[in-house]
Amino acid sequence: MFLTDRTGIQKENLNLLTRANEGNQRVKINGVELNAKADENILSAALRQGFDFPHSCRVGGCATCKCQLVAGKVKELTETGYILSDEELDEGYILACQSIPKTDVEIRVTGKETITGKITNQKNLTHDICEITIQLERPLTYIAGQYVSLTIEGLNVERNYSIANPPNQKGIVTFIIRKVPDGKLSNYIFDYNLAGKSIKLKGAFGDFYLRDSKRPILMIAGGSGLAPILAILKQGILARTKRPLTLLFGAKTKEDLYKLKEIQKIGQEWKGKFTFIPILSDEPKKSSWKGQRGYVTNLIKEHITNTTEAYLCGPPPMVDTAKKELVQCGISKRSIYADRFTTIDHSLSLNIDDQNSRSAAKIFDYLKFFLFHAVAISSMISLLLGGSYTTFGFFSLLFFYIIGDAFSGDDKDTPNYTKPEVLTLQLWMALPILCLIFFCSVWTVSPIDTFGFGSWLTQTFGFDFNLAKENTSSIVHVYAIFLTGLMIGLVGTITAHELTHRTWDAISMFIGRWLLAFSFDTIFSIEHVYGHHRYVSTTEDPATAPRGRNVYYHILASTIKGNISAWKIEVKRLKRKNVSIFSYHNAFIRGHLMSVCLVVLSYLIGGIPGMLFFITSGLFGKSLLEIVNYMEHYGMVRMPEEPVQPRHSWNTNKRISSWTMFNLTRHSHHHAQGEVPYQKLRPYPNAPMMISGYLTTIVIALIPPLWHHLMTPKVLEWDRKFASQEELELARIANENSGIAKFKSTNTN
């Protein structure tokens, strides 16, 4: 559907040889030569060989891995118009995670310069803030406000820090570093004399810098977030900036304030009006402090106008609160620039390419996924037989999953599948099966024997299907709705989830979107890939349920917000392509029309009863998706700018769920590496684990008191076992807003 070829902007200047027959291609990244295996995307090739390539979602939804194609040709696996701007497309930018080399290629990753140097000075500014000065071997190219990745001799740890001084030709850079509890690098800096130690910088990164305009400036800094602010201010003096500027600097006590004389000097040299206000949140009431008290965000209203441009840097909670306050005061999001300080290692990646060391898949490894088809066909038969057979079919399905997962153990095998085309065919078979289930279920409530189908079945099998239909009670039809909805979720949504990730495969996308049409959810193919995978486990993601949320509210909220998100994503893409929003090209509109076609077809098959039956079943199937979303990320938090890791999804390895759901259960690996097909997903036994298998957890989620009783301890365990320091801050805020006493009491312990 989205498959395109892109050619490097300087192709004619290089003599690059196509080596398609060999299966491998050379990939040169900023002068470093690597190799890509057949059908391997550039990002995977880079990470496999230890190249620290910037990335996050890995499914083409965030643009973190965007890079410039200098030479050669690539096959693009997704529609880059969803993510990249017109200017970036014109300049030859591609997404590394969605680009497979067709020839030898050369790419340029902006700002991936590596420079060495030595520490020349080290000074403690407060009890937990330290300043280090570094003399580089040569000047670093950067913009005041950007950050670099820093490594120090003697410690194999890499962390990101903002540069605290403007660019200069002397090659001198300074950093202001906060001591983080259990932070290896920051504690190393505080505990040892580092004078003369060698360092390595990678960068520069980030888009936190002063924009060129005449609007008044509001800068808000907290803790070591003053570092990039100082660099911007000093650069502003050099540029003779005349814009009025207010700097709000938040700290806990007056002992936590630093660089006051330097800021005072900056204020004297600034060409426009300069206002500096330090604010203390925890200063003792009886102290001699005469300045402002409270949180730095409390003063925002007093120091902005309608045209203010805001720059925020510091701890994530401060930045997030300030953003919210600014928006509420009428400041456009486009006028707010932020740098949220984190301590997570950006070099983290999943290097698990052990395909050659795994055992070859045997026939049973292929056959086990046909259990999915057996469940679907047996459910269809129970619907046709009607009466007690339908009731038995519904409850036996629940029994099969709940009891089966409870006693069959975990599936931890990941064999090497040498015939992936068989696995793809298994996925494609879902559409004809779901079409049969759709027809048969609607036929069971039709006032007539549509197409003589019941008579044909009776003549063929010797069982009076028409009589069984007439004798089926209303309560059984309710069970039939639930059973059909389960099939729409199992056969439709789960299979479509896998297929619509294959944005480069037109057949898979076609089948996947039609499968989603049965649950009125074709927008899943837009929002899930380009929204959910980008924002998973953050407050920006409609599908991620915050702590304390009721599942029934989540079904409604996630459905509405998901549609809004998909519409915005699609409109953005169409505008970039200069295509009319209200046209056939709009996948959002086209998808919902596909569902309308099914509603009309259900009316033609079963009249009003058939149409209402299908609509109810389809909405139940859609609700199942949102319940699954609720389960898969409930209560988790993540910094939006950090790569998604296995810890950001609840996982389960229960055997029956795994075999009948195409390894959807291995959700931790799926979100960490969204491009990996289902048969290659790892079980990750050490990942955060769900309560049980999928259907068991769905049933528990539908009973909110039981859900919160079981999940609150698991979420708190996730905080202790998996959360980073920044995520613990986000978790504290989530606990406070949860409305659940056990979460709130944790904050006071």
Q: How confident is the model at residue 723 (pLDDT cuts 50, 70, 90)?
A: confident
**Lookup: tokens for 8:** 């490097």
So what's the pLDDT on residue 352? Answer: 44
> Residue holding tokens 């300080």?
341
**Contacts for 474 with CB less than 8 Å, ≥ 6 apart:** none
Q: Which of 177-181, 201-205, 526-530 has the lowest mean pLDDT?
A: 201-205
Higher local confidence (pLDDT), 60 or 533: 533
Distance, in Å, from the CA atom of 140 to the CA atom of 173, rounded to the nearest integer, reads 9
The CA angle 712-716-718, to the nearest 5 degrees, is 115
User: Of 21-25, 394-398, 478-482, 692-696, which gets the smallest average pLDDT?
Assistant: 21-25
The string over 414-442, giving b where at least 16 C-beta atoms fall within 10 Å of a residue's C-beta and e elsewhere, is beebeeeeebbebbbbbbebbbebbbbbb
Q: Is the pLDDT confidence value at 396 over 70?
A: yes
Please answer whether residues 178 and 186 qualify as being in contact, where contact means their C-beta atoms are separated by less than 8 angstroms.
yes
**pLDDT reported for residue 349:** 37
Residue 47 corresponds to which amino acid?
Answer: L
Interior angle at CA 286, CA 280 and CA 289, nearest 5: 40
Query: What sign does the dihedral 544-549-553-557 (CA atoms) show?
Result: negative
The whole-number pLDDT of residue 748 equals 63
Per-residue pLDDT at 578 = 84
For the stretch 549-593, pLDDT in tens is 999 999 999 999 999 999 999 998 898 778 899 999 999 999 999
The model's pTM? 0.72
What pLDDT score does 321 carry? 87
Whole-angstrom Cα distance, residue 451 to residue 294? 75
Rounded-to-integer distance, Cα 49 and Cα 38, Å: 15
Would you say 636 and 613 are in contact if contact means Cβ atoms under 8 Å apart? no
For the stretch 7-30, pLDDT in tens is: 665 443 334 333 433 458 999 998
In angstroms, the CA 690 to CA 652 distance is: 6
Residue with the larger pLDDT of the pair 727 and 245: 245
Q: Residue 401: is its pLDDT beyond 80? A: yes
The answer to whether residues 57 and 644 touch, using CB atoms and an 8 Å cutoff, is yes
Lowest mean pLDDT of 71-80, 107-116, 288-297, 327-336, name the range.
107-116
In the predicted model, is pLDDT for residue 407 greater than 90?
yes
How confident is the model over 700-727, as a mean pLDDT?
A: 93
Per-residue confidence at 80, pLDDT binned at 50, 70, 90?
Answer: confident
Highest mean pLDDT among 167-176, 501-510, 719-728: 167-176
Average pLDDT, integer, range 133-140? 93
Give the whole-angstrom CA distance, residue 147 versus residue 98.
Answer: 26
- The string of DSSP codes covering 124-169 is ESSSSEEEEEEEESSPPP--TT-EEEEEETT---EEEEEB-S---T
Report the distance separating Cα 364 and Cα 4, nearest Å. Answer: 37
pLDDT given for residue 23 in this prediction:
58
Residue 347 predicted with pLDDT over 60: no
What pLDDT, on a 0 to 100 scale, did the predictor assign at position 20?
38
The model's pLDDT over 631-675, given as tens digits with 9 standing for 90+, comes to 999 999 998 767 788 899 999 999 999 999 999 999 999 988 877
Percent of the chain surpassing pLDDT 70: 93
- Indicate the range of 476-485, 651-660, 719-728 predicted with least confidence: 719-728
Please determine, for residue 344, whether its predicted confidence score (pLDDT) is greater than 50.
Answer: no
Q: Over 80: is that where the pLDDT of 218 sits?
A: yes
Please compute the mean of the pLDDT values over residues 148-153 and round it to a whole number: 88
- Whether 57 has a pLDDT exceeding 70, the answer reads yes
> How does residue 382 score in pLDDT terms, banded at 50, 70 and 90?
very high
- What single-letter amino acid sits at 640? P
pLDDT at 316 over 80: no
pLDDT tens per residue, range 466-478: 999 999 999 999 9
- Interatomic CA distance for residues 529 and 523, integer angstroms: 10
Q: What is the pLDDT of residue 6?
A: 65
How is residue 531 annotated by DSSP?
I
Q: Quick one: pLDDT band at residue 111, thresholds 50, 70, 90?
A: low
Least confident among 51-60, 254-263, 473-482: 51-60
pLDDT of 485 over the 90 cut: yes
Of 461-465, 487-491, 505-509, the range with the lowest mean pLDDT is 505-509
**Positive or negative CA dihedral for 403, 407, 408, 413?**
positive
Q: Which pLDDT value is given to residue 242?
A: 94
With cut-offs at 50, 70 and 90, classify the pLDDT of residue 351: very low
> What pLDDT does residue 340 have?
60
Measured between alpha carbons, how far is 395 from 393 in angstroms, rounded to an integer? Answer: 6
Between CA 593 and CA 586 the distance in angstroms is 11
Question: Which pLDDT does position 2 carry in this prediction?
Answer: 47
Average pLDDT over residues 150-157: 84
Residue 244's pLDDT is what?
A: 96
User: So what's the pLDDT on residue 689?
Assistant: 95
- For the ranges 282-286, 431-435, 706-710, the lowest mean pLDDT is seen at 282-286
